[in-house]
């Protein structure tokens, strides 16, 4: 087939796959100058209805989340479906290498499947075989629904009552019993796929076909949150509603399910950013074969292991820093007996690692009595700030909310500017701006409370030691003492705004996640830092930072970044 043009038009490039009913090839369309996928189906009494059904149903659909059919040909003893060639990985391939997925990744994939099903259902088409093997994830983060081979029109009588078509573990109860199926059967299958993405297991998997059908018909699945604590309870509700045995109890439409899923999202990151790492995971084996060996292979394997255990590593580091921070706070505010003071940080570490939002709330609650004992007014302010911070930030993004705790450590190591740049490189623009500003403000208060000789990144002498001066003051006095340094030195307020602006601009420049854009953003961030600390303050009548001291810190930070970035394969950034 490779030597001659198929159908006098298509040059076969390679075979993509082979199944029980068909073979799929990658081909080049010499007439339209494009790469296509061709599904070859042998003509027979058994396969002819399937080929015709797939061609007619897909031809009715034109949607970004459904594979596009270009042409349908019958030649000699075969049928040929000419479709768009999509490059990516099936969800099955991804789940084989990385499972479970994060909640936001699972929601992003399921929401796009809902969009594709909305189009199909509006055209009266029921897919009947939604499963990971039939869902393709593209390089740009889109999800495509494939293989409409057993799809049917709602008005069609081609499939008789009693016929069982589909994949057992993803079948709805009515489909498994050979009863009439409608949109609800696709919603059930999508519920199974979503459950598998969230937990890494199928809710109805069993060793035999009979046992699988029995579980589909009779077994109630365990809520996903019991298997994966990261899954929120409100997502349990969505999944279990999609998996109701009674079709009438499920979502009425894929649109309704999509709306409910979108409300469970905890991140505003685009699907492209969320899902592109999954493509990289699926392609890892091929890429490893291309690595020549030596240092490159070692580096790739190290970061592959880090990528496979990214969530555990993030939790471990964040919970350790939180526990260490509160251990230091307990030393400053003695309240608990010595043995308990040593034990409490381990409790905080364990709680935060297992359930980050609960661990953060627990740490605030444990520290509050110690602060109230030292100063009731300061305790009231701490309780108010902690509650607001937890409700607006830590409850939804617990690990991200702990990022500002790293800035004192970075500043002590003279890596404060490195910290600022990494925040701009890693997070989305609004989040980078928020974290950068909060970190700068937190560092200023840290210095003001601890009496550090010089406020970091400024030439302002630190004449304040708030930890000692607030002890016997009332609420009004505490507020005045906290505000006084900022009123006397407006540069402290300006510095927070400067950091927020740099974080936002760097976040905007690195949205596309290219190595070149990251390097450019670092250079732009450096220029903005120099301008912001030396030139703009003179316009605002604020004493600028000395140029020599700033360049010394900046040079050290740039050297550290230049050492760090090449050590990390860019796809892991």
Cα separation, 61 vs 14, whole angstroms: 27
* Neighbouring-strand partners of residue 25: 15, 38
**Contact call for residues 553 and 414 (beta carbons, < 8 A):** yes
Taking CA atoms, 177 is separated from 129, 225, 446, 553, in Å, by 15, 29, 66, 71
DSSP string, 203-235: TT--SSHHHHHHHHHHPPPPPHHHH-TTS-HHH
Instruction: Identify whether 129 is a catalytic site residue.
Output: yes
3-state secondary structure of 363: helix
The 8-class DSSP code of residue 170 comes to: G
CA 129 to chain centre: 27
User: In the structure encoding, which two tokens stand for residue 304, read together?
Assistant: 């592959």
Residue from 29, 77, 104, 129 carrying the catalytic annotation: 129
The 8-class DSSP code of residue 454 comes to: B
Cα separation, 46 vs 60, whole angstroms: 23
Cis peptide before 100 (omega within 30 of 0): yes
- Which residues in 67-160 belong to E strands, given as ranges? 69-75, 78-84, 88-90, 125-126, 135-138, 143-145, 152-153
Q: What b/e readout covers 392-409, taking b as 16+ CB neighbours within 10 angstroms?
A: ebbbebbbbbbbbbbbbe
- What is the number of other CB atoms lying within 10 angstroms of the CB of residue 540? 10
Cα separation, 138 vs 265, whole angstroms: 21
User: In the structure encoding, which two tokens stand for residue 63, read together?
Assistant: 């949607």
* Neighbouring-strand partners of residue 170: none
> 281, 369, 353: which is closest to 105 by C-alpha?
281
- Beta pairing class for 23-29 and 10-18: antiparallel
**Contact call for residues 232 and 264 (beta carbons, < 8 A):** yes
461: exposed, middle or buried (Cβ count in 10 Å: 0-12, 13-18, 19+): exposed
323: exposed, middle or buried (Cβ count in 10 Å: 0-12, 13-18, 19+): buried
**Contact call for residues 358 and 366 (beta carbons, < 8 A):** no
> 444, 459, 461, 485: which is closest to 544 by C-alpha?
459
> 172, 249, 168: which is closest to 212 by C-alpha?
168
- What is the number of other CB atoms lying within 10 angstroms of the CB of residue 99? 13
Active site residues: 129
């Amino acid at each position: 087939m490779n030597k001659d043009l198929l159908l006098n038009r298509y040059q076969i490039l390679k075979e993509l796959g082979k199944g029980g009913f068909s073979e799929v090839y990658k081909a080049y369309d010499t007439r339209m100058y494009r790469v296509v996928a061709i599904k070859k189906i042998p003509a027979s009494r058994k396969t002819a209805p399937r080929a015709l059904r797939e061609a007619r149903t897909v031809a009715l659909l034109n949607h970004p989340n459904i594979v596009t059919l270009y042409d349908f040909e019958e030649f000699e003893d075969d049928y040929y479906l000419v479709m768009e060639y999509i490059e990516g990985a099936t969800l099955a391939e991804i789940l084989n290498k990385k499972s479970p997925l994060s909640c936001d990744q699972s929601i992003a994939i399921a929401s796009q499947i809902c969009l594709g099903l909305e189009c199909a259902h509006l055209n009266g088409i029921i897919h009947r075989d939604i499963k990971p093997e039939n869902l393709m994830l593209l390089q740009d983060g889109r999800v495509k629904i494939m293989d409409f081979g057993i799809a049917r029109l709602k008005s069609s009588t081609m499939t008789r009552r009693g016929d069982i078509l589909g994949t057992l573990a993803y079948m709805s109860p009515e489909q498994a019993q050979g009863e009439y199926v409608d949109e609800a059967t696709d919603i059930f299958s999508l519920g199974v796929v979503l459950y598998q993405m969230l937990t890494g297991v199928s809710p109805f998997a069993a060793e035999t076909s009979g046992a699988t059908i029995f579980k589909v018909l009779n077994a109630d699945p365990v809520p996903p949150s019991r298997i994966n604590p990261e899954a929120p309870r409100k997502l349990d509700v969505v999944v279990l509603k999609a998996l109701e045995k009674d079709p009438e109890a499920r979502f009425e439409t894929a649109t309704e399910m999509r709306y409910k899923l979108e409300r469970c999202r905890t991140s505003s990151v685009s699907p492209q950013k969320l899902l592109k790492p999954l493509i990289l995971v699926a392609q890892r084996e091929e890429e490893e074969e291309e690595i020549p060996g030596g240092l490159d292979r070692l580096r790739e394997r190290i970061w592959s292991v880090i990528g496979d255990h990214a969530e555990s590593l993030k939790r471990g580091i964040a919970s350790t820093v939180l526990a260490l921070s509160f251990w230091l706070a307990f030393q400053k505010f003695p309240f608990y007996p010595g043995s308990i003071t040593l034990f409490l940080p381990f409790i905080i570490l364990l709680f935060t690692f297992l359930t980050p939002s609960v661990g953060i709330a627990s740490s605030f609650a444990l520290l509050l009595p110690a602060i109230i004992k030292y100063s009731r007014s300061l305790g009231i302010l701490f309780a108010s700030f902690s509650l607001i911070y937890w409700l607006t930030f830590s409850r939804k993004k617990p690990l991200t909310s702990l990022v500002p705790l790293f800035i004192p450590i970075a500043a002590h190591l003279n890596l404060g500017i490195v910290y600022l740049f990494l925040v701009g490189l890693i997070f989305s623009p609004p989040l980078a701006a928020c974290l950068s500003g909060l970190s700068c403000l937190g560092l200023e208060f840290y210095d003001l409370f601890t009496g550090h000789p010089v406020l970091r990144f400024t030439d302002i002498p630190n004449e304040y030691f708030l930890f000692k001066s607030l002890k016997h003051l009332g609420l009004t006095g505490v507020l005045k003492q906290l505000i006084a340094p900022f009123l006397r030195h407006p540069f402290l307020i300006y510095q927070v705004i400067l950091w927020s602006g740099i974080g936002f601009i760097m976040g905007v420049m690195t949205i596309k996640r290219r190595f070149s854009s990251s390097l450019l953003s670092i250079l732009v961030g450096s220029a903005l830092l120099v301008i912001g600390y030396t030139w703009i303050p003179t316009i605002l009548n604020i004493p600028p930072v000395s140029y020599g001291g700033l360049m010394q810190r900046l040079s050290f930070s740039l050297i550290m970044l230049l050492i760090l970035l090449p050590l990390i394969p860019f796809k892991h950034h």
